[in-house]
A and B are shown apart, each in its own frame.
Chain A
Amino acid sequence: MLLPISVTIFALTVATIEAAIVRIMKSRKTLMHNQLVTECTEQLKSRFLPSPVVIKKRIEGLIEREYLARTPEDRKKYTYVA
């Protein structure tokens, strides 16, 4: 993990990753987990390189806050919650 230690920068990183996830999901509506992680990494690569675990944690946070949900038919597929 290449994140700096500073709390402020960490918070910014969290916000950046979350914004990327939401942006991708808003445009794609539904997406498989792997695809979401790949696209998120792609979008952010010019700035920093978050690990898949970090992205996954952000996905979970967004599920909890009901920005995303798992689809009932396939728990590996996410759907954007309007």
Chain B
Amino acid sequence: MTKSRHCKNLGHVVVKNSTLDTNLQAAGNLFTRLNSLSLHDRSNNSGSSNPQLAEEMPIRRKRSSPTMEESRSKRPKYSQARRCPSSGSELFNGKQCIAWFHEYTGPDEDTLGPDGMEKFCEDIGVEPENIVMLSLAYTLDAKSMGFFTLAEWLKGMTELQCDSVSKIRQKLEYLRNLLDDSVQFKNIYRYAFDFARDKDQRSMDMDTAKAMLTLLLGRKWPLFTSFHQYLDQSKYKVINKDQWCNILEFSRSIAPDLSNYDEDGAWPVLLDEFVDWYRDQRQMLS
């Protein structure tokens, strides 16, 4: 009870917390590497090395907390919570993270599927079709929509420093805010193509494309409704990656009245045809 009250007061601190955690994890990484003089596994801090790190982390944190208190005199409550013995669950635990994963899968399975995903969404209070789930999948670098492998789960949840439902719920705002950053949104948008397409095909089928575009651009792009209508009546059955990426560029750079649309703009033919269609529609109505 006390802890949750703390968490409520420190809502805005959670984001800083993750930066601190990242720094501490980086320090932990360096510490481990110096100790073992190991040269492998430089590129990522995910996978098998993590549970070890998680076990190392408690020692690091206890040592550095006095220093933290000095520099963070603005947040006495925060350091109090950290020193509180009952909040041992504040520290990220790799084993707990894996055990949490298995709440959604069979005991020996290494893939979380549709049933598990449904339960996971219920637990965190997010609908499966909510765009936050895409942001989460992106952070986990999940390959296929509707599935998380254990490796993806561990990598992503470690990055988010979450090993429980309550922790991930605190990160939902961070995940939502990712979408407000224009660079991150572009990354997530591009990622969404490979994530949502049928892995047997290079392109995405039109129904999936329309659904994903609605999710991603439905609220942002004034021309989206028209574009959706255009797709409905077009002969296109699939969308390829180049078209996908250019749709975002088009939505960002071309004015809603198409006044700055340039025919020599090297836009995919799909978009040229949309412009023709849209202008015809406008003409018919006027």
B62 at interface, CB cutoff 8 A: no
- Can you sample 28 A-B contacts with CB below 8 Å? A33-B264, A33-B265, A33-B266, A34-B264, A53-B269, A53-B272, A56-B266, A56-B269, A56-B272, A57-B269, A60-B240, A60-B242, A60-B243, A60-B268, A60-B269, A63-B242, A64-B202, A64-B203, A64-B240, A64-B241, A64-B242, A70-B242, A70-B266, A75-B246, A75-B249, A75-B266, A76-B265, A76-B266
Output the least CB separation between A9 and chain B (Å): 21
Cα distance, A75 to B245, chains bound together (Å): 10
Cα distance, A37 to B265, chains bound together (Å): 12
> Quick one: which of A28-44 are within 8 Å of B by CB?
33-34
Q: How many residues of A contact B (CB 8 A)?
A: 11
> Quick one: which of B220-268 are within 8 Å of A by CB?
240-243, 246, 249, 264-266, 268
* Closest residue of A by beta carbon distance from B263: A52
Cα distance, A57 to B265, chains bound together (Å): 14
Majority SS of interface residues in chain A?
helix
Q: Which chain A residues border B268 with CB–CB below 8 Å?
A: 60
**Interface size classification for chain B:** 10 to 19
Q: Which chain B residues border A75 with CB–CB below 8 Å?
A: 246, 249, 266
Cα distance, A30 to B269, chains bound together (Å): 21
The 7 A-B residue pairs with the shortest CB-CB distance in the complex, in nearest-first order:
A33-B266, A76-B266, A63-B242, A64-B240, A34-B264, A57-B269, A60-B268
Q: Which chain A residues border B246 with CB–CB below 8 Å?
A: 75
Q: Which chain A residues border B242 with CB–CB below 8 Å?
A: 60, 63-64, 70
Known A33-B265, A60-B240; 15 more pairs at CB < 8 Å: A53-B269, A53-B272, A56-B266, A56-B269, A56-B272, A60-B242, A60-B243, A60-B268, A64-B202, A64-B240, A64-B242, A70-B242, A75-B246, A75-B266, A76-B265
Cα distance, A33 to B269, chains bound together (Å): 13
Output the least CB separation between A30 and chain B (Å): 13
Q: Which chain B residues border A60 with CB–CB below 8 Å?
A: 240, 242-243, 268-269
Output the least CB separation between A55 and chain B (Å): 11
* Closest residue of A by beta carbon distance from B249: A75
Cα distance, A71 to B278, chains bound together (Å): 29
Cα distance, A27 to B277, chains bound together (Å): 37
Find the residue from A33, A53, A70, A75 having the highest chain B CB count within 10 A. A75
Output the least CB separation between B237 and chain A (Å): 14
Cα distance, A26 to B2, chains bound together (Å): 67
Cα distance, A63 to B242, chains bound together (Å): 7
Q: Which chain B residues border A57 with CB–CB below 8 Å?
A: 269
* Closest residue of B by beta carbon distance from A76: B266
1/0 per residue, CB under 8 A from B, across A52-82: the answer is 0100110010011000001000011000000
Cα distance, A64 to B244, chains bound together (Å): 12
Output the least CB separation between A62 and chain B (Å): 10
Cα distance, A45 to B223, chains bound together (Å): 39
